[in-house]
Amino acid sequence: MEKVIPKWVFVVDLNSCVGCNACMAACAQENQTPYWSNKWRTKVEQLEIGEFPEAKRVFFPHLCMQCQNTPCYYACPTGATYKTEEGIVLVNHERCIGCEACVIACPYGARYPYESDDVDECEKLYGEEARHTTPHIDKCTWCYHRLKEGLEPACVETCPTNCRMFGDLNVDSYVSRLVLEGKAIPLSPQLGTEPKVFYVTSKETPVGVVSHHLNEPPYKQTI
Amino acid sequence: MNVTRRGFLKGMAATSVATLVGKKLLTPEQAKAIQTKNIQYTYKPNICNFCANACGIKVRVAYVDGKPNRLMKIEGNIHHPYNRGVACARGQSGISYIYDKDRIKKPLIRIEGSKRGEWKFREATWQEAFDYMMNKLKNIKPYEMALMGGWQGCAFYGTYLLPFVLAAQIPTLFGSPIQHCVGSEHLGLHTVFGNYNTHDEVVCDYDRAKYILAVRSNGSLAGISTGRAHRFGAGIKNGAKVVVLDPRASELAAKADEWIPIRPGTDNAFALAMLHVILREQKDGKPLYDEETLRYFTNAPFLAYKDEKGNLQLLSDVDKDGAVEAWYVYDEASNSVQKVFGFYNTNKISKDGKNLKPALFTNNLNVNGKSVKTVFEYLIDYTKDYTPEWASKITDVPASTIKRVAVEFATMKPAIIEPGIYDSRYENTIQLRKTLAIIQAITSGYDKPGTWVTGGSYKMLIKDFFEFTKKNGNKITIPIKGYPDVDIPGMLRVLDVGFKYFFNPKAWTHGYPSIQWAYLQTELSKGKEATVFPFITDNGFYESTKKEVFWNGQPYQIKAVFIYALNLIRGDVETQRWKEFLTNLDLVVGFDTMPSDTMLYADVIFPDIPYILKKDIVFDINTSHDYSFGTREAAMEKDGDEMHALDFMYMLSKAMNVPWLDKMAEIYQYWKWDKEELNQKCEESWNKYHTIVPAIRELQLRMVAGELKEYKGVTKSVKELDEEISRKGVINVMDREELMAKYSVPWHQPVPTPSGRMEIYSNVFATLQNMFGYKPNYDPLIAYIPPKWKGDIAPEDVKLEENEFFITHGKIPLQSHTCAATVDNPILVSIGKWREGVYYGIWINESKAKKLGIKEGDEIIVVNAMYPNLKVKGKAHLTKLIRPDTIFIPAAFGASSKKLTYGGSLGTPLNELIPYRPEPVIGGYRANEFTVKIVKA
């Protein structure tokens, strides 16, 4: 029998994100990311849209979009950035020379440098279980190591309001239907990167509006 | 739950060490060691301790070559019926608390010659620290001691603390402080529904609700109570309409279909106007309230009259012991006055067995020489003037909006008014909550799908109690006679324990009541007023050390306190007062895990076992709709000299020679233990393991086995159950649907109010009214109490100066009151700092701030305009998400302990801005009932 390769998709329902940041805490520990240097693989952006009393507080979770058409992958000069057969974009830590071309190439601000001070701290905290033993550019992997074991990404598993959801387009599910029926849409599709993170737009704040706000400073600077 | 992750590690970490390009290079030996080590992960179930929700979690532990090596991560426990496998940011961050270098791991004794508050401690052995404490206690009488416990004590071990204080003859217990904990938040709800379990909110069935109305309450949903948020998320996805009243856009308001930025502190005007509308408007020719529910399951049809003082009283027959034998109703079926049972769930049958149809409306009725009307008719009278137009002027919300929300709430059923943790407080908070509870009751939103749903174990407690009352003539006395005190459900337990012990000098061999009660009597004797229901409140403590509390004509003074997981200096208001209090004591004993601002004032500190390293007793999961039990497994060996709180109590009871376990067997029969056996097993366990936890747990699991046999017909040994609960963390006895079908309240059995019905007219408040004279604060029906921001100026007439604001406070998702454990947590601090303004700042409306020349991050001073000596510093956060006339300060910050490395200096200590000015019922802090002025630092 031919092996069926999963078509993983990540769906965020903006209606139910309450901005609790559980995803950030879960990811930071699952992936030993340098929270001590204020660097995160996933974040919940907070925006204020409109003026009081009509002002809206918007929570916007974001993470690596695992683009089908992958700017960071093309930008990488050493081949450190590679894609798994499922299309998950990963970084080979040893091959990465830290040139940051990928950081610049990524239109979603999903990459950051895991610097040598961070490696020191990681090893201090996690000892022989440390997963970052050399400086490199780091990014969200959708918890690829968990996926391979049949587990959801850590942020999805813990999301208190189930706003983060995970699924396989090959399998009929609530998640895959949201994507296939067009109820969940990508962020900034005009960039042509074909992201695999899809947002269920909230009643009050269409993704387009969020996208417009996110591209303004200080967003670019904080990532 | 064993998962091997070796493949991953080998692929990503282990092979990389050989070819490192960075400055860190492992030796070949180290690299080889890692490559050849067999790393496995095991999960241990636990119960989160980072807020009072007590979510089920599991802790991932790395085992290297078969030995536990490191705690890795926390996940939600999928078996847990409350949080269903999810965990919030706090819950996720527990590991770094265990590895927090600030955590207390050894007993500490304050160095001789140092002052309290300085943090000059030396490490000591348990024996030395214990002897030090016992030596100091020698000259202190039991009634001069007090136990002060935070919510951990309350939520997990409160039921064990009570027998301890009774056995030790310590009449003064202090919880949390109760005033900003459940007391002033929820007393109003309890008076209607009688619900008062350990952390007494009911957990609503948000999943199936069509309408969710929240009055602030950020902490109970989005800000965040995980099990509730989980259901709330499902409710949103299922299309529920969410309406939130809050002067600022909290996390919860952000999720609202309609955010109503109401003027702070005026919610009770909004609620009364809602009630006004629901009692008067109709839809399709039918009233908006649920007539059947009111008639049969509330005391709305009870006949009431105004006594000679003008106080509203219920008509009743009282027996020689003071138990109400009968209430009066007017029966529409027989057109006659009939009597119904004193304590029962329904008014469907009369005391002598006739089927009734009690009237909600009467006509010039005269009974026993008194002109009477139904409670319902009085309710309609009382709400006459509270029109939406009236409320609009006070609340700054259009009358049409108030009216629409009322109609929507009563017609888009099932509908929920969020009953949980509440955020800011005013004198009117209790009556506000009572009005909201009345709205919930009269629209029949209780213990049904999509409404407020009571816990499974709570239903079972009521079941046993109901059987007892049926055998005793369907009536009860308060205090309750002939029933184990701790097993009494809800509000009735609070009344029982209050009036039987804490408020009763005769209950104690030394003849002293609690300090709170003595303080009340002292004040009353001087013609002054004080908190009339001081149930485990903070009233009188400070005054006692100033020799201002008397009993039998002598000064009554607290001289020693045991502080368990309580951060008095940060959790109570007016910090200076509590620093002074602690400084004036003869002995301060601390039992905690972190060097919180309060622990600085201890003489001796005993290290508590942090939850992740704790093997625990069994708990009934009272937040669960199912009837289930849970426990904690130690994820790894404890890493210092920490001790379990119950073991500390055991040691203390032995040293003081007091019969703690005997008393436990006497008043706490939930676990069905036998006095001799309990003593014997605990002694054996203590001698063998130096802990009594295994003994208690074994006896508890025997009871669980009995319940499984009785309700499921399943036979399991204690050993099997121990294995199961150690693995899963949870044992489920009965699921929600079965419980709802058999034991829902008040539909199948009483609610634990004094009458057993949902009480529109509160018998608890009537008792206070009759004991202490009328006050609107405990009006048995409803009352409007305006927020007193500027003394007696009516809210609609208050004018603010240019730099003057109202203030509101509330919870944020990253913090809770954990005695510095979350405040000092490096992960939570990192997330918080990332959005520093939002989480640590003082929120000011952006355009207003600009007028005052304040920029984002500016240091500002907030001065209490009513008490200008109270002021705090902070950083301005400019936002569009708050009313221009209001500022917001997040709760639970501003620690000043230099021993807290990560979060010690962050945020604003809100409590230093709040004057100690308890409201008259349960001493609630009027935490936002003043205005503030903002000055640039």
pLDDT at B718: 98
Question: Which CATH number is associated with domain B795-936?
Answer: 2.40.40.20
Nearest to B502 by CA among B141, B925, B147: B147
Q: Does B814 touch chain A (CB under 8 A)?
A: yes
User: To the nearest 10°, the Cα dihedral for B186, B188, B189, B195?
Assistant: 70
Per DSSP, B795 falls in state G
Q: Provide the Cα torsion B825, B831, B836, B842; round to 10°.
A: -70
Extract the tokens encoding B229. 């948020």
Three-class DSSP labels, B325-392: EEEEEEECCCCEEEEEECCCCCCCECCCCCECCECCCCCCEEECCEEEEEHHHHHHHHCCCCCHHHHH
Confidence of residue B11 (pLDDT cuts 50, 70, 90): very low
Cα of B125 vs its chain's centroid, Å:
35
Q: Look up residue A24 and give its amino acid.
A: M
Kindly list the residues from chain B whose CB atom is less than 8 angstroms away from the CB atom of residue A161. Answer: 229-230, 232-234, 236
Question: What is the SS3 assignment for B104-153?
Answer: CCCCEEECCCCCCCCCCEEECCHHHHHHHHHHHHCCCCHHHEEEEECHHH
Q: What percent of chain B clears pLDDT 90, i.e. is strictly above it?
A: 88
Reply yes or no on whether the pLDDT at B424 is more than 70: yes
Closest residue of B to A33, CA-based?
Answer: B827
> What is the C-alpha to C-alpha distance for residues A7 and B540, in angstroms, rounded to an integer?
66
What CA–CA distance (Å, rounded) separates B107 from B105?
7
Q: Which among B447, B535, B560, B682 has a CA at the least distance from the CA of B146?
A: B560
pLDDT of residue A205: 61
CATH topology of domain B182-287+388-454: Dimethylsulfoxide Reductase; domain 2 (3.40.228)
Q: What is the ipTM of this complex?
A: 0.94
Q: Please give the pLDDT value at position A211.
A: 59
Structure tokens at B915: 């004057």
Chain A: residue whose CA lies nearest to B828? A25
pLDDT band for position A203 (cuts 50, 70, 90): low
Closest CA to B755 of B503, B478, B500: B478
Judged by phi (left if over 0) then psi (alpha if -120 to 50, else beta), residue B73 lies in beta
Specify whether the CB–CB gap between B196 and B171 falls below 8 A: no
pLDDT in tens, A106-128: 999 999 999 999 999 999 999 98
Q: For residue A48, what is the enclosing H or E element?
A: strand A43-49
Please list every residue in chain A whose beta carbon sits closer than 8 Å to the beta carbon of residue B812. none
| C-alpha distance from B723 to closest chain A C-alpha (Å) | 25
- Greatest distance between any 2 Cα atoms in chain A: 60
List CB contacts (< 8 A) between A29 and chain B.
Answer: 72-74, 92-93, 95, 827
Position B6 scores a pLDDT of 31
Q: In what order do the strands lie in the sheet with B303-306?
A: B312-314, B303-306, B370-374, B365-367
Do residues B929 and B863 make contact, with C-beta atoms less than 8 angstroms apart? no
In this prediction, residue A223 carries a pLDDT of: 30
pLDDT exceeds 70 at position B319: yes
A60: nearest CA partner in chain B: B254
Q: Which residues contact B740 (CB under 8 A, 6 or more apart)?
A: B447, B448, B449, B453, B625
pLDDT at B3 over 60: no
Query: Which residues between 647 and 686 in chain B have a beta carbon less than 8 angstroms from any beta carbon of chain A?
Result: none
B798/B806 Cα distance (integer angstroms) = 11
- If you ran DSSP here, which 8-state letter would residue B923 be given? -
Instruction: Quote the pLDDT of residue B4.
Output: 36
Q: How far is A66 from chain B (nearest CA, A)?
A: 19
- pLDDT tens per residue, range B215-256: 999 998 999 999 999 999 999 999 999 999 999 999 999 999
Q: What is the pLDDT of residues B671-709, one digit of tens each?
A: 999 999 999 999 999 999 999 999 999 999 999 999 999
Which residue of A55, A128, A157 is in closest CB contact with B64? A128
pLDDT, tens digit, for every residue of B507-541? 999 999 999 999 999 999 999 999 999 999 999 99
Task: Tell me which chain A residues have a C-beta less than 8 angstroms from the C-beta of B51.
Answer: none
Q: Which of A13, A40, A133 sits opposite B16 (nearest CB)?
A: A133
> What are φ and ψ of residue B371, in 5° steps?
-80, 120
Residue B18, pLDDT score: 32
Residue B741's H or E segment, with its range, is helix B736-743
CA pair distance B174, B327, nearest whole angstrom: 36
Q: Which sequence spans correspond to the domains of chain B?
A: 2-98, 182-287+388-454, 299-382+743-778, 795-936
Of B14-28, B38-52, B144-158, B906-920, give the lowest mean pLDDT range. B14-28
CA distance B785 to chain A (A): 27
pLDDT of B837 over the 90 cut:
yes
The pLDDT assigned to B1 comes to 38
CA distance B859 to B867: 21
Contact residues on chain A for B830, CB-CB shorter than 8 A: 28, 35-36, 38
Cα–Cα distance measured from residue A165 to residue B630, given in angstroms and rounded to the nearest whole number: 28
Which of B87, B91, B838 lies nearest to residue A46, judging by beta carbons? B838
Residue A143 in contact with residue A30, Cβ under 8 Å?
A: yes
Nearest residue of chain A to residue B71 (CA atoms): A126
Contact B21 A135 (CB under 8 A): yes
Band (pLDDT 50/70/90 cuts) for residue A216 is: very low
**Mutation test of the interface with chain B: which of A21, A82, A121, choosing the one with the most B Cβ atoms within 10 A?**
A21
| SS3 annotation, B239-281 | CCEEEEECCECCHHHHCCCEEECCCCCCHHHHHHHHHHHHHHC
Tell me the β-bridge partners of B370. B367
C-alpha atoms less than 13 angstroms from C-alpha of B424 in its C-beta half-sphere: 31
* Amino acid making up residue B801: E
Alpha-helical regions (H) of A63-190: 71-75, 101-105, 116-126, 144-147, 154-158, 174-180
Mean predicted lDDT score pLDDT of chain B = 93
Handedness of CA A151, A156, A160, A162 (dihedral sign): negative
Report pLDDT digits (tens) over B594-606: 999 999 999 999 9
* Residue B12 confidence (pLDDT): 36
- Do B182-287+388-454 and B795-936 agree at the fold level? no
- How high is the pLDDT of residue A207? 63
* Best to test chain A binding among B814, B834, B839, B902 (most A CBs inside 10 Å): B834
* Residue A18 contacts residue B255 (beta carbons within 8 Å): yes
CB contact under 8 A, A20 and B89: yes
Tokens found for residue A222: 């904080």
Chain A contact set for B835 (CB, 8 A): 46
Determine the Cα–Cα distance for residues A132 and A139; give it in Å rounded to an integer: 12
- Mean pLDDT value across chain A: 90
Nearest to B89 among A24, A52, A222 (CB): A24
Residues 13-32 of chain B with CB under 8 A from chain A are 13, 16-17, 19-24, 26
Q: Chain A interface, mutation test: which of B9, B236, B250, B848, most A Cβ atoms within 10 Å?
A: B236
Supply the pLDDT for residue B27.
Answer: 55
pLDDT attached to residue B10: 31
Compute the average pLDDT of residues A190-200: 93
Residue B757 pLDDT more than 80? yes
CA B36 to chain centre: 50
- Confidence at residue B33, expressed as pLDDT on a 0 to 100 scale: 57
Does B69 contact A154 at a Cβ distance shorter than 8 Å? no
Contact flag A125-B99 (C-beta cutoff 8 Å): yes
Instruction: Say which residue the tokens 């918080």 belong to.
Output: B832
Phi–psi pair at B701, nearest 5 degrees: -65, -30
User: Which backbone phi and psi does B270 adopt, to 5 degrees?
Assistant: -60, -45
B223·A20 Cβ contact <8 A: yes
Q: Which two tokens stand for residue B836?
A: 């520093």
How many CB pairs lie under 8 A apart between chains A and B?
204
Minimal Cβ distance to B16: which of A24, A93, A128: A93
Residue A220: pLDDT band by 50, 70, 90 thresholds? very low
pLDDT of residue A221: 32
Q: B309 CB contacts (<8 Å, ≥6 apart)? A: B773, B774
Average pLDDT over residues A207-223: 47
Q: Does CATH place domain A8-222 in 3.30.70.20? A: yes
Whether B289 and B407 have beta carbons less than 8 Å apart is answered as: no
Task: Report residue B292: phi and psi, to 5°.
Answer: -60, -45
Range with the poorest average pLDDT among A47-51, A83-87, B550-554, B591-595: A47-51
Whether B50 has a pLDDT exceeding 50, the answer reads yes
